[in-house]
Structure 1
Amino acid sequence: MIADLPETAKLDAALALGERVVACYRHILDTAMTDVPICNPALKIAATGFRTYRGRAFGIVTTPWFMNLVGVDLPEGAPGAPAAIGTILGLPAGNVEFIGGELDAIGRVDSCALLSPVFEFATMEAALEIAEEAARAYFDPATLEPTPAPAAVVNRRDLLRGRFQRCEEPSG
């Protein structure tokens, strides 16, 4: 539908930005992270679930040394406020703590560490499955556990009128 074109364009911009982030991390893997012992040799660099939210691109980046939720300014969008250590950003599933950083050719990248190091993954497929689930979880409010109901309050008037649930001990 024509009405969906702006959202599709935003989605494409977020996906393209995710691929640019992947290219930056591939360069880091090929240079600074070569033969670093915290790297899982079974993993590669991947971007998962990149989407536009509040004018920024968010998604999961998987590398041989970490899996992070990242937020990146879209090239055509207004830059967001820089994240400091412990900056809380509101996402559909709740508030998430990010730290700010910089990537060459990208600029500011806010990151929330999900896993580091990532030795628990035997295959890239297993890592991508978790990344896809994480991307869904952060952007689907239904994934949150329901808030527990508040404890029943018994006021004095109800107590005197017998309007409370009795906890009787079993007779023996």
Structure 2
Amino acid sequence: MDAERAGTDPALALGQRLEEHYRNIHATAMIDVPICNPALGVAATGFRAYGGRAFGIVTTPWFMNLVALDLPHAPPAARVAMGTAVRIGLPAGNASERDTIGRVDFGSLSSPVFEIATIEAALNTAEEAVRAFFDPSAFEPPPAPAATLDRRDLLRGHLRKNEEAITQ
């Protein structure tokens, strides 16, 4: 994560703090846990402000999650009981508290992460996920399916009547 930009961008700064938090967990509690992928490290990707919260992807050797954190100086998200599923305008996730960071909502993208071979592949996946979550076209309804041509309507002349009604 870019430390210089994180100093001026609160969403990036929160992503950096969360990355540091999980680096500490990796170096202590998760150091030899078999669910960890030894090819991966800890990284925070694509953190940005959205709706008064910071959203981004956190990758660790044991998970890849979309996370949401309250931004400083923004109204906090509504309180929920730990483990409660919440809808935050993006895919649903769980709410939890981190001692040094505060509330972190997260939705698992992958856990465990054995199918990811390198940290570079993990970061590319995270960048694509962030793009997908924030791409406005992803929220547009799909185009209507093309009208099907019914041979009976064609032979009975109904198709011509439908075309005339559409053009008027």
TM-score, with normalisation over the residues of structure 1?
Answer: 0.76
Distance 1:10 1:24, change over 3 A: closer
Q: Are residues 1:86 and 2:85 paired? A: yes
1:5-58 per-residue CA deviation (whole Å, 9 max, x = no partner) reads xxx999711001100000111111122112000000111110000000011000
Name the residue aligned to 2:165: none
Q: Are residues 1:73 and 2:70 paired? A: yes
Q: How does 1:96-111 map to 2 (within 5 A)?
A: 96-111=91-106
Name the residue aligned to 1:127: 122
1:64-116 per-residue CA deviation (whole Å, 9 max, x = no partner) reads 000000000112221111356321121xxxx4111101112101000000000
Distance 1:120 1:145 in 2: 31
Bigger mean CA offset, 76-85 vs 108-117: 76-85
Question: Which residue of the other structure, out of 14, 24, 28, is the alignment partner of 2:25?
Answer: 28
1:116-147 per-residue CA deviation (whole Å, 9 max, x = no partner) reads 00011111001000000000100012246852
Letter in 1 for 2:103: R
Letter in 2 for 1:19: Q
Q: Secondary structure at the match of 1:102?
A: strand
Name the residue aligned to 1:48: 45
Name the residue aligned to 1:169: none
| Paired residues of 1:11 and 1:51 also in contact (CA < 8 A) | no
Distance 1:11 1:132 in 2: 21
Distance 1:152 1:130 in 2: 37
Q: Are residues 1:17 and 2:38 paired? A: no
Distance 1:71 1:10, change over 3 A: farther
Number of residue pairs the alignment of both structures matches: 150
| Paired residues of 1:59 and 1:71 also in contact (CA < 8 A) | yes
Distance 2:10 2:22 in 1: 19
Q: Secondary structure at the match of 2:109?
A: strand
1:130-170 per-residue CA deviation (whole Å, 9 max, x = no partner) reads 000000100012246852526859xxxx99x84249xxxxx
Distance 1:58 1:39, change over 3 A: same
TM-score, with normalisation over the residues of structure 2?
Answer: 0.78
Gaps of 5+ in 2: 161-168
Q: Secondary structure at the match of 2:87?
A: strand
Distance 2:72 2:144 in 1: 44
